[in-house]
Structures are given as C-alpha cells and as structure tokens.
Structure 1
C-alpha cells in the first residue's frame, strides 16, 4: 500500500506489490460468432518506454536510475523489503513468469521451457521444465534443490525463518526431482489456483537453505545470482546500488554495462536531472511541468496545457537548458487510489452511512481532477481486485451505485441523521480534565483536540474543512481507540502552524469551535444526531508529493458537504501517516493506494478479510485497515484460491468484488498516474505500466538511430 506522497508500505505481500501476476485467459471477441463479451477490457494506458529494436541500441553505457531508497534487505520475502528490493530482484534473479503490457503472466523462456498442471486428483501436481542453459552465477544448474529450499523457508512451518509471507507455499506438500535434472515436480496438499505466483523470484538454495542465511545472508549482498545483471555493490554511504552485466548470462546479453540505482528524494529529482546526475526517474506532476516545456512530453496529450507550460518556462529559466535533454513518459501505474472508510466504530460503523458517503461521490470528477491535466485516461476504477486489462477485471461498482445525492440523503435520514438538528454545546475542560469526545463518536471515546470546523461556504461554493491545535491542550494521548490522533496541523512544509488552517480559502471568520451555533448560511444544512454533528476525520499526508491527494480530499469534502456531512482534515507527516493513523485505525476517511495483483484470490484476501479478535483481545485486521469485512467475501476468496478452472475462478473473484463494493468499506477512485523523466536517447525504459521491465533490452540509442513506435520489448 502507498499513498500518492510516495509512502510505500513494506511488503507483506508488499502489500503484495511484488506479486503482480494474473491468472486466466483473455477471450477475444469477434474471433467466433458467439464469442462472449470480454469483461476485462484493455489497459487504459500502455507502457511508454520509447521501444526500440535491440540492433538500434548501443552496446555499453551506465544507466543512472533514481529510486526512493537503498534497500535495507535484498530478500523480497522479508518484512522490510521495498520497491528497490523488488527492482534488484527482477534484474538479477530468476522469475518463472513476468507480466506483459496487459498485466497478464507470461512464461519467461530464459528460465522455463514449460509449466503446467499435470494432475488434479487425488492431488494437484505442477511440472516445471527448466531451460537447459539456466545456471546460477557460480555455475550450478538451477533445479529442484532451489525450489525445495524456497518452499521449506516460506512454508510457515519453521518459525526460525523471519518471513513476511507464505501464501501458496503453505499449500505445498512436497517438491521432487522429475524425470531428469531439468524437471521439478511440485505436489500440493490443497488445490491452489494461483500456483503461477510461486518461485518468482527464485533464490538459490544458498540463501533459502538455512534460517541464518535467509535472515541475514541476503540482506546486504547476493553472492549467487542468475539474471542478465549481477549485484556489484550496495553502497549505503553513497546511497547507491550497482548492477553489472552477468558474464554467465545465457540469454540475450544486456545492452548496458551497468545500472546504478541511486537514492534521490522525489523533490530533488528535477535538480538531479538538470545537473546530469541521473538519466531516469519517476517524478510527480509538478516536476513534469518543469520538464514538459523544456524537453517534451510523450503520450496522448501535452503535459500540461499550453498556458501552464509557458508559465513553467517563464518561472524556471535556470534549469531549462539542463532539462531539454529529457522527456516525460506517461502511463498508469498498476496501482489504484481509494477512499478508505473506517468501519470499526463511530458513524461509519453503520453501513448506511458508508453507502451514503459513496453515493455522494462523483468518482468521474475525482479521476478527471488528477488525470485529465496529465493527458491520461480519466476513467474511475470499477474493481477492488483488478484493473482494466487484467483477467479478473470487471466493473462491479453497480453493486453500490453511482453518484446520487437524493439516495445519499435518504440513507442518512434512515440512519437517524437529520439536517439542522440541535448540537450540544461542549464546555471547554478545565486544565488536566478530559474533554468531550470527538465528533461522531461517543463522548467517552476520546478527548477534545482543539479542532475547529468549517461549515458550508456562505457564498455557495465548496468550502474546505480545517482544524487547528489548541495551544493549551497538552493532555491528549495517541493510544485512544478513536479521536486519538495528535492535531498535527501540518502544512506542506511539514512545520506546525498553531492557529492556522491547513488549507487556505473559504469564508473569512468561518471557523467555529465545536458545539457552537453555526453562522447564518454556513452550516445550517449539516446533519446531526443525538446532539452531535456528522463530522468525519479525514487524515492526509503532508509530504511534498501528496498534492494530488490534497486536491482530491478537498473535492471529496465539498461533495460530502452537499449532503450534510462535515469533514475535519488533519495533515500528518508522511512518516506517521501509515503507522500512526492508517494501520492503527486513527481516521474516519483516508486516501491511500493498493497495487492490483494478478493473483487477487491470494494477494487481495488479507486486504478485505473480516477482522477477528486476536488471543490478546485486540482485533486482528491483517491488511484490512477499513475494518469492514464479511464471512461471504472470505468464503468467495477461499473458493477462488482452490478452484483450478480458470472461468470459475474469475467468476468467484468478480462475485467477491461485488460484495466488497456493497459493503462500502473502500471506494476505488482512479488508477494512479505514472510519470517518468527519461533521457531522450534512452530506450526500452520509462513508464512501464503493467509490464515487467526487460532489463537486458534497456540502453542508449546508437548515434543517428531513432526509436520506433511499433517496436516492442515485450518479447
């Protein structure tokens, strides 16, 4: 999971971010007279990587590629693995399958001649036939011993292995050598539909063979690899990971002689590009505005509009020359941003209120606010479990319904929330006393955090909700179950500004302490019940890359206000956003993102599983931070994971998605934009979309050569 401010959660399935494979077969309409409709559709945007045939790519050169961090571990199966861990693994380790441009799994012929289910009764058996030339960098053949060591390490049966995930491996009964050294026979104790997700990446038995080597041996180095590149060094002092050509690689040789993954903060990347320090970097929209007028933007439309480009050019003359050698390559990440509704307690524990929130939203308008200025397709996401183009995708949002103000208001009325109801005045506590509870919660649940609330703008326009910290209140604690967030009134600069609203705008003097009568025309139409206003705490990150989230949050607040729901926006540091607020349940509303796994029956289950009480009395939510789940959804996931028939598997996944929509715990909004600044002569690299990068094809054009729009490195 991540929010748009570049906060990326640690994989558990990094957030299953490393498992992007999909099951199922695309049915192509029009090939037969009775072909069924393809519900999965096509990707909204394909990879934008300046594709070029290999004979146009120069031999040699170093690619300097900006990343978020130097990884703490090179073992993708550990809890502190991150996106850079995954990037290194893709370049230096075997994967049995990789994704194509449609987000579908494709056998990697460099490692695997074939893999198929050869038996279903009495046990499921998968037979892998490995490529004959596939060897580790120490000369040993890749074989059954490596598969078996990885299974034992990840099976969950030995607690000495500090693993972050074992899904799928825990279903394996045994692994054996087949008819020869190139065959691996995997027998499952229980049927497992997502078997293609396993052994990608595959580590050598040297890493997986013992708990010590698993826990510590692969954190700082990988002595044995088997990819087009090998690990040269992990340099924490200079914030860099260096990869070099693998001399034992048997496939198409890598064009680049070296890839340097350089840790560069998001807000420092434009300067690093202009200074000639990096060649490739994911960027945010503000950086794209700097590059577009100087260098160019590829894709369906210029980025941004002509007036904005001219304004950016006028304000940034200093680095325009340095940026002229770069262009912006645009796609959509295999990640979607959602509005999460915390259903643990408070108003959103009522499904009617959650559904009302959802029906108040114009998801098309929210997608357009983020994607339309970038020239990217502004189509709302219709599934929690897949994205358009992936096999499991189907727009199931109809199970909840689209924007409908009247229906939203009817749901709220049915739940007992009425307009213009009396609001009890809450007296300010004496020093050392706890105050009355936060809005929408029982008074016993929390304390007064000095929040001030903005109602409707009396000019008739959308207003923004805000808050500020009462400088006299030093008694609140973070460990309260609800209403316990610190009133971190953070602005984009990350500093606290006591007495200042986090977003500018709205009617002057519109602030009013909780419980006071609203000024005429301000909040007269807001909802209340039992003397308490319906006001939801909306938690957002404050980092420099989170402007898109703040824009979306402002629009959501305006949409909710029109049906009588107030919001209180709280901005917190990126570092505390997930740990102290999302994971701990200290929010009513929040925006964050999930990757779309190609194995939703396995990877999405922890995100939507019904929370259950743990042995210590706490609530075990796994990755379901909305705390909304049902037994029916859990059952459908379990059925799908054990169903080997592809059509039935997809049907069960889509049914589960419909039930998730109906429960209204999370509302998918839009697929996240992927903007990459790339040197104009760098090819087969950029914004990859669903596609797994083909590292051996990346490189710099030969002098005089030009990339071809029809070329492809899917191959």
Structure 2
C-alpha cells in the first residue's frame, strides 16, 4: 500500500498511497483564465499520444492498481483511487482536467454551463448534450442532478456521505425550458460551482439512503460513460470494465479494461510475466526498464543478483565450495545454486521488460514536511519557523527529481501547482533558507546551544534516550544517520546509518553546505567556571560550535520524525535523511521512527502522534472548497476533543479561514485567485507545513499502448486508449508520433 495516488475529485481527500506518503488526488482541478500569471506546468503529460485512426479496434488493457475498491461510490469515506479511476470511465463528468490543470467543459455531456444570474441569487444553467443517456436508455436530466444534491446536501444524515461542500449551498434544482436544461439556484454565492456533479450518479443510486449507502458498493447497474462495470471480482482482485453499447461519443477502442490489484513491489514481476500492460512504478523499477531497453555488450554494467561480486569474492566462493570442510562446501554450493537461479530469473525478466517503456511526468500533487503544532516544541511558531528556515528545499527537490530527468523546482504554494491559474510562489512570506536566522528564532524561543541537559530515563529496555550524547552524524548516501533501537526507532546523530539507501532516486547526499558538529552531546562548563564569561578577544571558536545541540529547561530539542517503512518508501527515507542533517546543523536532533504502512496515517498522522512527517496533498483548482478543511483552524468539538477536519498539522489562523470564506463566495476569477494567494502567504507564515517538491509520476507502459501513461494534470480519455496498428508503430513498436512531454496548451 502507498499513500500517494491520483484519482478524481473525491468526497474527501482520503488516504490513498502510503509509500510516498500521499492523500487521494482530486480528479478535477482548476478553472481559471489564460490571463492568470501562473506560468506553464513544469512537466506535461507523457501518454504516447496517437490519432484514433492508428489504433486497433478491440483488445484488453490490463492496468495495475493498488486496490480493488470497497465501494464504487466516490462520495463515501472509504472510496479510494481505484474508485475514482472507475468513475472516470463509466460515469458523467461535467468538467474534466486539461494539461494545465484547468477544469474544461466535457462536450460529451455538456453543451454549455454558465452563471445566468447573481441577484438576488446565483443561478447556473446547464444545457446537456441531447444524446447523453444512461445505459438503460433514460436521458440524463434534472432528476439526476436533484437526487445527487439531496443526497450530498448534508440535510439527511441517513446518507453516509464523506462531505457536502458546495452541495450545501444549493437552494433548489429545477428543470429548465426543456428536458435538456438544468437550473441550479444557490442560496449563497459559490465560486467553485464547476466542481459539482462530477461524477454524476444516476437517481437510482442517489435517490434513497439505502441505495446510496449500499447499492453502489460492488456494482453499478446504470452508467453513462464509454465503459460499463462488468464485474468486481474480490477473489481475483480485479475489476472488469467493458464497452458501453449505448455510448454516444467516440466509441471506445478497447473492448475491455481490467483493473488488477498488484502490490507496488510486485509490479516488475507482473510486467515481465505479461499479466499487466500499464503500471505506476517506483524509480528502481523505472531504472530496470530503462536499462533493459539499452543495447547490451561486454561494456554494459552488470546488474541484478551477484552483480556486486568481485573477482576476489568469486575466487573465495570457489575455494570454499571445493574445500575440505564438507559442511561449508555444501552450504556454499547451495548458495551458488540459488544465486544462479536468481540471476537467470532476473535475465528472463529483463528480456521481457524490453517490451515496455517508462513514461514520465509530475503528478498533480506535492510532498510536504508536516510540523505538528498541537503541543510540544512545535506548538511555538518560532520553532516551526526555525525548522522551515533550516531546509534547503532546492536540494531536496533536486535529490528526488533530477535523477529522473524531471524539473527540480521546489513547490512555492500550498494551494496550487505551477501552471494552474491560482499558482504563485508565496514562500517569501516565510523567508529563504538561513541557518543563522533559524538559530536566532530558536534562541528567541529559549532553545540555546550548550545548555545543560538532564539525564532522562529510558522508556523501554534497549531504547536510545533522546538526549544521547557524543555521537557524530554521518551523511551517508542519500540518508541521515542514526542508531536503531529495539522498537525500530533511531536517532539521527548516532553512528549507524539506518535510513533508506536512496536507490530509488539515485540521489546521493550531495556536498554539505555547512560543516557538521562532531559532538552532539550537551556542552558542559569546567567545574568552577563562570557561566556567561567571555573568552579573550581573538580566541578561536570551537570547531563546528554553530551545530551544537540546543536545549531548554534541561531538555535537548529532539523531534519525533515518523516515516512509513513499506515498499516504495525509500524516496521518503532519503528526503528524511537530508532534512535530519539540515536540522542538525541548527542544533535540532531528530528521532526517526519507521512504522508499518497500514498504521502510518491512521495511528500517527491523523491521531497527531508525531512531530515531523512526510506525506502528500493533491493540487486542486478549487482550493477555496477543497483546501479549506486542510488548513482551517482546529476548533473544540462538543465532546471536548479538537476537531481538526483534515488539518493534521493542527496549525491554523482565523485570517486564513476568513480568506477562504471570501474566496469561496467571489465569482470573479482574478479577485478569487488573489484571495487564494493571500491565504497561501498566511499559511506559509504559520509554518505548519512546508511544500517540498511535486511528486514524480513514473508509469511503465507496453510500447504499443497509445494515449495512456503518465497523465500529469490531464484526465484520462478512456475511449482513446488502445493498442497501435502495426502501420502506426514507430521503429521500436512505440507510437509513431510520441508526445514530447510538453503541454498542449489546451
């Protein structure tokens, strides 16, 4: 399981993919004008674009996904990324995302939609495509819109909905002048009205609480997309979609799409075995596929099992296998047989992988460092700002993205990504990296270098105490350093390197920009010396004194850094290692704990059992609606607990809430975007979360598969996906006119 994923705009930004620490991505983002100064996306879609005329009619696409979903209703709390993928293929969407992250009208369902009145109420008039019908032959119309509004309005608690944002602002829904017109009247102005009715479910699903809660969990009897749901097979862990015979748009090229649940660490095996044609993969898998495509000769680097064995290792192995110690010889011969089998399997896989290529882009999502401001040292804004000012975000982004050949620019906004209408780099509200300023902020908060540290009792037998002294922090290749305890935790600043090897990104630690402290323990004055006495003028400062650990009230400043430990988490481990080293330079130590993927979010992030954590949020062009619960100020609930909604850092301000409220009711695009950027500046200043980099999107694709791959911002067009005719294939079987990866500008 991973906590990074992409899916349509779901009812709740729920957990999707843990290995890279992300929450489910809304499918639809963005409405904006071409005049917005947002620049271009850092990377465009890479989907092997081809004309429909060059694609074979028929065939089955086997698509690796993370899960077979527990529900097909995207508006339920347990909906996931696969739920969203299915909805995109089988249900109406009034708007879809283009290559710049803008919501654009979907002509298959919508001839037009516009605000036709603002006084005394905002009124939106939808004119539907006259050919748009459900799979049972009934026309899509006002009754479906009204049923969805009633289900999601929040007025009837019998509906188990994940959220009602936007729908709760609707006053009424009426039929227009004819059956093809739907008139939606809002009781309060709602700028993000384009976010509604995508996806749109039939009234048969939304009409009653029973049908909403249970009727669409395992099947959708009525659909209206290029595909229909044929079967959800929990035993085979796959969902089968088939062509919709009543689809009025361009007919689907594929006969079937099979969404097959394949764990991330098993996808290379599935690809090489020919059981899947399309799969999102990690950087290590991407390297294997890239290497497989290269011409092999005697100068090619050895890879796979045994590749790291030197000539001396081979000679030693031969000597043991042929030596007089029979037990040792048998053991060595057995090990050599196993190694040969592994090498042969690896070679077979590499040969099979020559039929695939890696298509790359950037996901519409970013990874952040979250700082829990609920209690402890990070409850002090000065400490949070010190942590933020210590980070070299360019270095972190480069470590992750440069080895993949992707643009390595740090993300400058919490609320949009480069290319989207609302994007602006507001990180200046926090300030640039500056270790001196970071140490000054710590000192202002009472955390000073060289203060006495009280001995603390160890919580568990064999556990390292938070105030452990006198060890040196090693840099390691793409990692921090630490000493592992019995509970799986380790403290950066200890001898042993226990972080990820950084192999998935190919990122090394890079050149340190500041010397590290060789002694992380507390500084103690000699007996009889006077605290605060000055050394004679000209006396040299102790080496690396600027990196001395900071302490307050006899306690060193040590932050709990929680990370997932499952497959695909190596990139996060690399990032965490770099962050830990950067914090050590200003005197902050990190106690890094690797926890099980399944418990990472529920038991640590959502419950607030962490100081620092890495996870990701999706970008959305409806930030006034979608991002408000992520950054709104937590408020006490009726039972005395703290209602944080989705603000897992527990950091918020009244001003940010007010700016969101103003933006959500502002229909003028330019004015709304200005309010969103202002809110983002305030979020930066509060330093509850620090955006680091836009997430890489790496997709392994069979070479002759067109119009599929790394979609970037773009919503997949399922009816255009298919396998190329031989006449349309390039020299290596790829689409004859591959996308350059640049935005199309549409």
TM-score band w.r.t. shorter chain: 0.7 to 0.9
* SS of residue matched to 1:610: coil
What pairs with 1:439-450 in structure 2 (closer than 5 Å)? 450=464
Of 672, 681, 685, the residue aligned with 2:704 is 681
Aligned counterparts of 2:720 and 2:560: Cα–Cα separation in 1: 48
Q: 1:515 to 1:410 in 2, by over 3 A?
A: closer
Aligned counterparts of 1:218 and 1:209: Cα–Cα separation in 2: 12
- Deviation of 1:597 after TM superposition, in Å, equals 1.1
Whether the 8 Å contact between 2:413 and 2:423 is mirrored in structure 1 is yes
Q: 1:659 to 1:231 in 2, by over 3 A?
A: same
What pairs with 1:383-532 in structure 2 (closer than 5 Å)? 383-427=413-457, 450-451=464-465, 458=472, 464=480, 466=482, 468-469=484-485, 487-489=487-489, 502-503=498-499, 525-532=548-555
Q: 1:198 to 1:4 in 2, by over 3 A?
A: closer
What pairs with 1:222-241 in structure 2 (closer than 5 Å)? 222-241=220-239
The yes-or-no answer on 1:546 pairing with 2:569 is yes
Match of 2:557 in 1: 534
Q: 1:412 to 1:109 in 2, by over 3 A?
A: same
Whether the 8 Å contact between 2:456 and 2:465 is mirrored in structure 1 is no
Aligned counterparts of 2:457 and 2:691: Cα–Cα separation in 1: 39
Match of 2:29 in 1: 21
Match of 1:258 in 2: 256
Match of 2:173 in 1: 175
Aligned counterparts of 1:679 and 1:396: Cα–Cα separation in 2: 40
* SS of residue matched to 1:186: strand
Tell me which moved more, 680-689 or 523-532.
523-532
Match of 1:32 in 2: none
Match of 1:435 in 2: none
* SS of residue matched to 1:704: helix
Q: 1:391 to 1:16 in 2, by over 3 A?
A: farther
Whether the 8 Å contact between 2:92 and 2:201 is mirrored in structure 1 is yes
- Deviation of 1:710 after TM superposition, in Å, equals 5.9
- Deviation of 1:2 after TM superposition, in Å, equals 6.9
Aligned counterparts of 1:296 and 1:95: Cα–Cα separation in 2: 41
Aligned counterparts of 2:292 and 2:645: Cα–Cα separation in 1: 46
Aligned counterparts of 1:565 and 1:546: Cα–Cα separation in 2: 24
Deviations 1:577-613 (A, max 9, x none): 0001000111110000000011000000000000011
Match of 2:381 in 1: 351
Q: 1:122 to 1:8 in 2, by over 3 A?
A: closer
Q: 1:257 to 1:9 in 2, by over 3 A?
A: closer
- Deviation of 1:259 after TM superposition, in Å, equals 0.3
Deviations 1:69-121 (A, max 9, x none): 00000000000000000000000000000000111111000000000000000
Match of 1:496 in 2: none
Whether the 8 Å contact between 1:538 and 1:589 is mirrored in structure 2 is yes
Q: 1:9 to 1:245 in 2, by over 3 A?
A: closer
Superposition CA RMSD, Å: 3.2
Match of 1:70 in 2: 68
Q: 1:318 to 1:9 in 2, by over 3 A?
A: farther
The yes-or-no answer on 1:334 pairing with 2:364 is yes
The yes-or-no answer on 1:669 pairing with 2:692 is yes
Q: 1:516 to 1:427 in 2, by over 3 A?
A: farther
Aligned counterparts of 1:245 and 1:503: Cα–Cα separation in 2: 47
The yes-or-no answer on 1:190 pairing with 2:220 is no
Q: 1:420 to 1:243 in 2, by over 3 A?
A: same
Match of 1:626 in 2: 649
Aligned counterparts of 1:143 and 1:355: Cα–Cα separation in 2: 52
* SS of residue matched to 2:386: helix
Whether the 8 Å contact between 2:564 and 2:595 is mirrored in structure 1 is yes
Of 360, 363, 377, the residue aligned with 2:407 is 377
The yes-or-no answer on 1:368 pairing with 2:398 is yes
Q: 5+ unaligned residues in a row in structure 1: which ranges?
A: 28-37, 298-306, 432-447, 471-486, 492-498
- Deviation of 1:317 after TM superposition, in Å, equals 2.2
Aligned counterparts of 1:382 and 1:571: Cα–Cα separation in 2: 28
Deviations 1:319-374 (A, max 9, x none): 11110000000000001000000111111111111111111000000000000000
Whether the 8 Å contact between 1:74 and 1:221 is mirrored in structure 2 is yes
The yes-or-no answer on 1:562 pairing with 2:562 is no
The structure with more radius of gyration: 2
Match of 1:143 in 2: 141
- Deviation of 1:4 after TM superposition, in Å, equals 5.2
Match of 2:317 in 1: none
Q: 1:19 to 1:64 in 2, by over 3 A?
A: closer
Aligned counterparts of 1:309 and 1:337: Cα–Cα separation in 2: 33
Q: 5+ unaligned residues in a row in structure 2: which ranges?
A: 15-22, 308-342, 502-508, 510-516, 526-541, 730-734
- Deviation of 1:638 after TM superposition, in Å, equals 0.4
> What TM-score results when the alignment is normalised by the length of structure 2?
0.83
* SS of residue matched to 2:99: coil
Match of 2:621 in 1: 598
Whether the 8 Å contact between 1:3 and 1:591 is mirrored in structure 2 is no
> What TM-score results when the alignment is normalised by the length of structure 1?
0.86
Match of 2:531 in 1: none
Q: 1:176 to 1:235 in 2, by over 3 A?
A: same
Match of 2:153 in 1: 155
Deviations 1:442-490 (A, max 9, x none): xxxxxx96546676864885783535446xxxxxxxxxxxxxxxx4449
